[in-house]
A = this chain, B = another copy of it.
């Protein structure tokens, strides 16, 4: 494959993987705090999580939904409780894919790849 086409392909793959909801989910400090807290504390229901943050329960509920739709958290409904936990394996997979894309891009976009 000639270099121009390789570059075009790399760019397309990069857009695919960067245009996800993942970055929008993680660009909000409160959501990062929630994800971090869940990492440390393990699975917890909405009210328990909300009780550890200054925001209202409804706000935390919305943030949890965004994190879940972005694939950061797992959601388990048991009775009238909804439990959330970090999706470690899922996030690892995502990051591996993104990393792979960047590895492909380095030799194409960076003529002098020192440092």
Contact = CB atoms under 8 A, between A and B. Distances in A.
Interface residues of A, number: 47
Nearest to A8: B40
A88 B105 CA distance: 7
Protomer copies: 2
Given A88-B106, A92-B106, A109-B85, A15 B33 contact: yes
Contacts of A79: none
A106 B95 CA distance: 13
Interface of A: 7-8, 10-12, 14-15, 18-19, 23-24, 26-27, 29, 32-33, 35-42, 85-92, 95-96, 98-99, 102-103, 105-111, 113, 115
